[in-house]
Amino acid sequence: MWSRRRGLLRPLGCGVEELRCRRREREAALRKARREQQLVSKRLLRDEATEEAEGGCVVVILGEAEIQEFLRLAQRGIEEKERERALVSLRRGLQHPETQQIFIRLEGSIRTLVGLLTSNQALLQLEAARCLHELSHSEQSAVAEACLPATSYLLTYLSSHSSDFIELCLYTLGNLIVESEAVRRQLLPQGIVPALAACIQSSASTDSSVLGSTLPQHILQLLQPGPKLNLGVAVEFAWCLHYIICSQVNNALLITQGALTTLGLLLLDLAAAVQRTKNAGLELLVCPVVRCLSNLLTEAAAETVGGAVHLRDERVVAGLFILLQFFLQEQPSLLPEGLWLLNNLTANSPSFCTSLISLDLIEPLLHLLSVSNVVSVLVLTVLCNVAEKGPAYCQHLWPGLLLPTLLDTLALSDTEVVGQSLELLQLLFLYRPGAAQAFLQQSGLQALQRHEEVAQLQDRVHALQQTALHG
């Protein structure tokens, strides 16, 4: 009997290592892709004071006739104030995707906007640039590409004397650059590289060697939680830090300068703040902070300095779950950001996995599976991180709510969700032999058979069927 058990254990050990290796390779690829996507994500620049002065009006969809009238007034209005008001109204309308589509289909609309951008009236130039910026931020590539006739002028104005105008042109060009290859092909011969180089070397930005300067330390000081923390300033510098981290120039230096500790404390402060106030602006800071932590945790230096110690395991996990509940209620689009951080916390840290279990957070995590397929994949990945730590961790996952939950996810049509469910089952079968029998008794085999025809799932389905039937 003992020799038979030893014979069974040897391939199990190989299976675990092979599974871990595969998961690590996939995680590395996902992290690289995510970091690159974050590095080129679009940003929206709006003047808060201007927005408040305009009374926070509800954005309305503009029809063709309204757009044409605003463009006519902006071009031919008798007074400059009247022309400016027309452009302000147009800009507010362009915040709506439907208005953007109507605008670019309207003959001569972009040409008129470019004409106003190149006028000799500073206020009209600024409002025209703001209209173009709204278009550049669109998720529809056709809308952003419609701004191509304006790029040469936006590049020219990078040498403007107005820092506000330069900033607006930079943001707009940044949004256009990430839109498509066609945009990049046009901007390169127009001289975007020397224009940006000149901008960096100008008095507005004298030191391009950011990490070689004291700027990162100053940014971290500005992000220190406490009564003196200015939300608006912190948001902008958190995004600056995020882009520095995404560039991966020297993240090890940032970690040794205390970035993990500062960001961890700020995360806890934000978790406490969302419980005290309904301030709608908090999510603006939470997003870059969570992204910064997520990306820093993927660095080898984070493990070297003991990232778990710097982040105070249980407090960070508890704070992150408070933020996940906040996201669920107020900003569901940020849920994947929080779960990606939880994934990176638990990937190589038994202590963070222990915190999940000791704080009874497995069940709340399972409740998030119903939100979306993207969220489901991340939740299942976190559960795989926990299961991968061995039998002692798996016994807290099974039996429980996990079995009926996995039967539900296996019934979905999304192959990524199903694939992650199969991976979790594989780990559970390896570490909890009784799980396979329980799975069979709950019609699990039929659930697997539904996915046999999906090519990328065939091998995993077959292996799990054999384990369940003969293991």
DSSP-derived secondary structure for 98-120: HHHHHHHHSTTHHHHHHHHHTSS
Give me the long-range contacts of 441-444 (CB less than 8 A, separation at least 24).
442/403, 442/404, 442/407, 443/407, 444/406, 444/407, 444/410, 444/468
Task: Read off φ and ψ for residue 349, nearest 5 degrees.
Answer: -130, 105
Query: For residue range 130-175, what is the model confidence (pLDDT) as tens digits?
Result: 999 999 888 888 888 888 899 889 888 888 777 788 888 888 888 8
Task: Read off φ and ψ for residue 52, nearest 5 degrees.
Answer: -65, -40
Dist. CA 336–CA 116, nearest whole Å:
41
CB 168 within 8 A of CB 45: yes
- Compute the chain's Rg from CA coordinates: 27
| Residues 422-439: b if buried by 16+ CB within 10 A, e if exposed | bbbbbbbbbbbeebbeeb
Q: Determine the pLDDT at residue 194.
A: 77
Instruction: With cut-offs at 50, 70 and 90, classify the pLDDT of residue 222.
Output: confident
pTM across the whole model: 0.62
Separation in Å, CA 338 to CA 168, 300, 322: 30, 21, 10
User: Tokens 């396979």 map to which residue?
Assistant: 436
Dist. CA 234–CA 138, nearest whole Å:
25
Instruction: With cut-offs at 50, 70 and 90, classify the pLDDT of residue 205.
Output: very low
Q: Determine the pLDDT at residue 160.
A: 79
Dist. CA 138–CA 145, nearest whole Å:
10
Q: Determine the pLDDT at residue 323.
A: 93
Length of the chain: 471
Query: For residue range 230-244, what is the model confidence (pLDDT) as tens digits?
Result: 777 788 778 878 877
Query: For residue range 70-119, what is the model confidence (pLDDT) as tens digits?
Result: 999 998 888 888 899 999 999 999 999 999 999 999 999 999 999 999 98
**Of 227, 228, 171, residue with least CA distance to 47:** 171
Dist. CA 438–CA 399, nearest whole Å:
9
| Residues 331-349: b if buried by 16+ CB within 10 A, e if exposed | beebbbbbbbbbbbbbbbb
Q: What is the DSSP letter of 148?
A: G
Q: Determine the pLDDT at residue 234.
A: 81
Instruction: With cut-offs at 50, 70 and 90, classify the pLDDT of residue 382.
Output: very high
| Residues 183-214: b if buried by 16+ CB within 10 A, e if exposed | beebbeeeebeebbeebeeeeeeeeeebeeee
Dist. CA 274–CA 414, nearest whole Å:
33
Dist. CA 277–CA 30, nearest whole Å:
35
Residue 215 or residue 134, greater confidence: 134
- For 401, the token pair is 């709510």
Residue 77 or residue 6, greater confidence: 77
